[in-house]
Amino acid sequence: MTYQEAIEYLYNRLPIFQNQGARAYKPGLRTTYEFCERLGNPQQQYRTIHVAGTNGKGSTSHMLAAVLQKAGYRTGLYTSPHLKSFTERIRVNGIPVDEGFIVNFVSEQQGFIETVKPSFFEVTVAMAFEYFAQMKVDVAVIEVGMGGRLDSTNVIFPELSLITNISFDHMQYLGNTLPEIAREKAGIIKPEVPVVVSEKQEDSVAQVFEDTCLRLQAHLSFADEVLEVAEWQYLNGKLRVQIRDKTRNTIRYPDLDLDLSGSYQLKNIIGVLAAIDILRLKGFNLPDGAVKEGLGNTSSLTGLRGRWQVLAESPLVICDTAHNVAGLTTALAQLSTMPVNHKRFVIGFVADKDVPAILDLFPREATYYFCAPSNLRALEASRLAYMANAIGLRGEAFQDVNTALSAALNESSADDVIYVGGSTFVVADINQL
């Protein structure tokens, strides 16, 4: 079996949510427990940090991994979905999983896979746990795929559970109210394991976490009750922040440069720094120098792409993986503050999102280039154009994101801005990413 054959087997033989949606959704932990038991429970051979949330969990996971790497820990990182290559999902010290390992894993486990019929995600989670064990990592940062309670990653017993925020996404699986969604995210909380929630939201949401932690005797910290961004600015392509300790009214981190420069990182960074404080109490040696170096070089240390990433300067081309109402609200707010001549949007979506609500966020005084991601769940570009034109978003449909981006570039002046996004899968299709 070659690497390409192994990947084709995973994609074609197993139900995969990113392509099939509900038909591939397989909630529950039984199969993952069974798979891990077969492998000798590799997830128990190293320390773990579990990260959930509606928005920001990917960036948060990468930032934590970068800090741990700079502090000298051999660090595993599991995230999903990938942008360009399956190997991006599983990394050790920023280096993607070896293709040979994937071939061997699939070959050795093929009989079990055929018998038990796990989902694509269940196989990749088990694969990641086994790879981290074989690579003898000190710690692994594990990002939840969707929800938390029934997510395959929830077989770990971590050092820390971190939940970024609660917003509306995947409601058909997680619930139609924020408290319902919060209960699914809170499902990663384990007995006596400390919990950091990046932002304290409305009382009904906060109460879910408070009640869960009280029941499980898990220490709960709302990060934004302890830390805050006192000041911030853009400087040399990075986001420079001053972090204040609210309990002491002192500046804890005076000039912290984040190379993840989307303004939504102002929320994520509070959760990351609060988590670092907890990890220090758990015995991790995380000096301020490692924090500064890790956060200033997250992309290069961990390979993260697609988060408010600048692809070109003149005209300015930015791509971002924000894909729901909460995420896009923040991204578009940042874009609205930029002094540019004209805004152009290259956007596409998957069909099972709340597309009408998302389209309503976009400005009317802009030019649109509608496309569809190369994904089985994609909303057709012509259908998207019809929906958008009906509410005053003027533009044309294109066959794919690269054709649409080329058209936007051809029509732009040097002081325009082009935003490419709407879906992780649209960003993944960009040739120059």
CATH value at residue 85: 3.40.1190.10
Q: Is the pLDDT score of 189 beyond 70?
A: yes
Do 374 and 338 reside in the same domain of the chain?
yes
Do 340 and 274 reside in the same domain of the chain?
no
Neighbouring-strand partners of residue 221: 196
Q: How would residue 20 be classed by pLDDT, with cut points 50, 70 and 90?
A: very low
Asked if residue 235 belongs to a domain, the reply is: no
Do 279 and 335 reside in the same domain of the chain?
no
Asked if residue 131 belongs to a domain, the reply is: yes
| pLDDT recorded at residue 65 | 98
Two structure tokens written together for 379: 């909303």
Q: Please state which of the ranges 40-44, 114-118, 266-270 shows the lowest mean pLDDT.
A: 114-118
Asked if residue 407 belongs to a domain, the reply is: yes
Q: Is the pLDDT score of 21 beyond 90?
A: no
Domain extent at residue 86: 3-220+269-284
Q: Is the pLDDT score of 271 beyond 60?
A: yes
| pLDDT recorded at residue 15 | 65
Two structure tokens written together for 220: 């709960």
Do 83 and 12 reside in the same domain of the chain?
yes
Question: Which residues, at least 6 apart from 309, have a Cβ–Cβ distance to it below 8 Å?
Answer: 318, 319, 320, 433
Asked if residue 292 belongs to a domain, the reply is: no
Q: Please state which of the ranges 146-155, 161-170, 328-337, 364-373 shows the lowest mean pLDDT.
A: 161-170
Asked if residue 289 belongs to a domain, the reply is: no
- Summarised one tens digit per residue, pLDDT across range 41-52 is 999 999 999 999
| pLDDT recorded at residue 17 | 45
Count of structural domains, the chain: 2
Do 275 and 406 reside in the same domain of the chain?
no
CATH number for the domain harbouring residue 400: 3.90.190.20
| pLDDT recorded at residue 326 | 87
Report the distance separating Cα 139 and Cα 419, nearest Å. 36
Q: Is the pLDDT score of 263 beyond 60?
A: yes
Do 339 and 276 reside in the same domain of the chain?
no
Report the distance separating Cα 275 and Cα 160, nearest Å. 8
- Summarised one tens digit per residue, pLDDT across range 345-374 is 999 999 988 999 999 999 999 999 999 999
Q: Is the pLDDT score of 19 beyond 50?
A: no
Do 109 and 27 reside in the same domain of the chain?
yes
Asked if residue 229 belongs to a domain, the reply is: no
| pLDDT recorded at residue 16 | 63
**DSSP single-letter state for residue 12:** H
Do 276 and 341 reside in the same domain of the chain?
no
Asked if residue 228 belongs to a domain, the reply is: no
Q: For all residues of the chain together, what is the average pLDDT?
A: 94
Do 322 and 211 reside in the same domain of the chain?
no
Report the distance separating Cα 256 and Cα 241, nearest Å. 5
DSSP 374-423: SSTTBPPHHHHHHHHHHTT--EEE-SSHHHHHHHHHHH--TT-EEEEESS
Q: Is the pLDDT score of 88 beyond 90?
A: yes
3-state helix/strand/coil string of 43-93: HHCCEEEEEECCCCHHHHHHHHHHHHHHCCCCEEEECCCCCCCHHHHEEEC
| pLDDT recorded at residue 352 | 85
Do 316 and 202 reside in the same domain of the chain?
no
Report the distance separating Cα 62 and Cα 385, nearest Å. 35
Do 280 and 350 reside in the same domain of the chain?
no
Do 278 and 405 reside in the same domain of the chain?
no
Question: Which residues, at least 6 apart from 294, have a Cβ–Cβ distance to it below 8 Å?
Answer: 63, 66, 67, 68, 69, 70, 71, 301
Give the mean model confidence (pLDDT) for residues 168-174: 70
Asked if residue 57 belongs to a domain, the reply is: yes
Q: Please state which of the ranges 6-20, 218-232, 385-399 shows the lowest mean pLDDT.
A: 6-20
Q: How would residue 13 be classed by pLDDT, with cut points 50, 70 and 90?
A: confident
Q: Is the pLDDT score of 175 beyond 90?
A: no
| pLDDT recorded at residue 18 | 46
Q: Where are the beta strands (DSSP E) in 9-65?
A: 47-52
| pLDDT recorded at residue 168 | 77
From the number of C-beta atoms within 10 Å of its C-beta (0-12, 13-18, 19+), residue 171 rates as middle
